[in-house]
Structure 1
């Protein structure tokens, strides 16, 4: 118990990404609820803490380098997020939009919640695409600039006044996107498939669950690993000219 009782959800996952599967099993969103105390979340959700702790302990096995994201350098994290996570989302968002509309058209009379699910998917899909575009054209280039400036003798020619709060704005967008997917998960009963449905319906829920899982991991890596590393670097670079606030 002492191993987890005073820890935040995000810190448990940060220590071992394998524990994220346990939190997903109990429908604990370790992105949105990552800054909350483990026992507080268990109590709020009426979860037997001993039961989940046993599973967390079992999940605490050796973490290979390719899963130990916290040990990665900033430039490698940026490359990974851009080439792996962003590409996955771009490839699957169009499928989600297509199938959510198709399934809503076919089954909304029997399952009226699908109309809202479809509306949410159509909107959040565009938000995610815009968010990733801004990461690739604004955030990631900014972080790469900081990496170049880290060992520079002077930063006096670099205007940082408009960029110091960039990271906070991306964190706010993450929260909004996760709240939408929490609502989608609730409406779909956490992607449990109804009986006697077509393959399109099955594919939609399978794709949604996989996308939700990957999205949580993506946001966890950025909010709890990438951004803290970036803020430390930002402070280091601009403390030279006292521009960091």
Structure 2
């Protein structure tokens, strides 16, 4: 591996899923925070830069698992993967999370007032994210497919991509708020099953949404912008 001091963690994760696994292990945000260089990411995470580079170099020596590198997919196939995997998951999971968020806040909000704030934070993100998915499904993804098909007159793609990335940043901030309000999804001792289920579901949702944003910010959107530039 050539140590590139300019390449961002988002670019590295997008080019090779093995690098994404390393960043995830160090707790480095490579989706919404994908614009950082290795040096910047190491400094922010309190990690020695040399340690991070060595971990990346070690990961590069591991064989790639067949079918695991989504970065090689054509844009239209990547869109189908995102729709069938991540968009579907969001639509299935959010109603469950909201139901249990209400239940747990109602039962435990008196002794744990942070759960009241969590309920409100869940609702805000649910409303914003579902609106975001609709814009991708109705506007951006069809436009990208038109670019792939050879359509030339698509001047709004760049602006739409930029708008979606800003909304991704907002979702990243929401996830950080969830983590703060739940103490990183740590369940209180003696918590009931509903309390535990909610926090486990929030953690699962957090993981999925970060992967979802990574695939769009670091893989799909650069491919789309390259197509738009050619057009």
- 1:10: which partner in 2? 10
Tell me the TM-score normalised to structure 2 length: 0.88
Query: Gapped runs of 5+ residues in structure 2?
Result: none
Structure 1 residue 176 and structure 2 residue 170: aligned? yes
Cα deviations by residue, 1:112-151 (Å, 9 ceiling, x for unpaired): 211111111111111111111111111111111112225x
- Once the two structures are TM-superposed, the CA of residue 180 in structure 1 deviates from its matched residue by 1.0
Structure 1 residue 98 and structure 2 residue 92: aligned? no
Structure 1 residue 201 and structure 2 residue 195: aligned? yes
8 Å CA contact 1:4–1:12 kept in 2: the answer is no
- 2:85: which partner in 1? 84
- Once the two structures are TM-superposed, the CA of residue 25 in structure 1 deviates from its matched residue by 4.3
Structure 1 residue 124 and structure 2 residue 118: aligned? no
Richer in helix (by share): 2
Query: Gapped runs of 5+ residues in structure 1?
Result: 238-245
Larger Rg: 1
Q: In structure 2, what is the Cα distance between the partners aligned to 1:173 and 1:95?
A: 23
- 2:30: which partner in 1? 30
- 2:182: which partner in 1? 188
8 Å CA contact 2:16–2:71 kept in 1: the answer is no
- Once the two structures are TM-superposed, the CA of residue 19 in structure 1 deviates from its matched residue by 4.1
- Once the two structures are TM-superposed, the CA of residue 16 in structure 1 deviates from its matched residue by 3.0
Tell me the TM-score normalised to structure 1 length: 0.83
Q: In structure 1, what is the Cα distance between the partners aligned to 2:188 and 2:55?
A: 28
Q: In structure 1, what is the Cα distance between the partners aligned to 2:86 and 2:220?
A: 14
Number of equivalent positions: 230
8 Å CA contact 1:174–1:219 kept in 2: the answer is yes
Q: Cα 1:232–1:12, aligned 2, differ >3 Å: closer, same or farther? A: closer
Q: In structure 1, what is the Cα distance between the partners aligned to 2:47 and 2:26?
A: 8
Q: In structure 1, what is the Cα distance between the partners aligned to 2:54 and 2:118?
A: 34
Q: In structure 2, what is the Cα distance between the partners aligned to 1:7 and 1:132?
A: 29
User: 177-186 or 12-21: which moved more?
Assistant: 12-21
Q: Cα 1:108–1:48, aligned 2, differ >3 Å: closer, same or farther? A: farther
Q: Cα 1:4–1:99, aligned 2, differ >3 Å: closer, same or farther? A: farther
- Provide the secondary structure at the position in 1 that maps to 2:149: helix
Q: In structure 2, what is the Cα distance between the partners aligned to 1:9 and 1:161?
A: 28
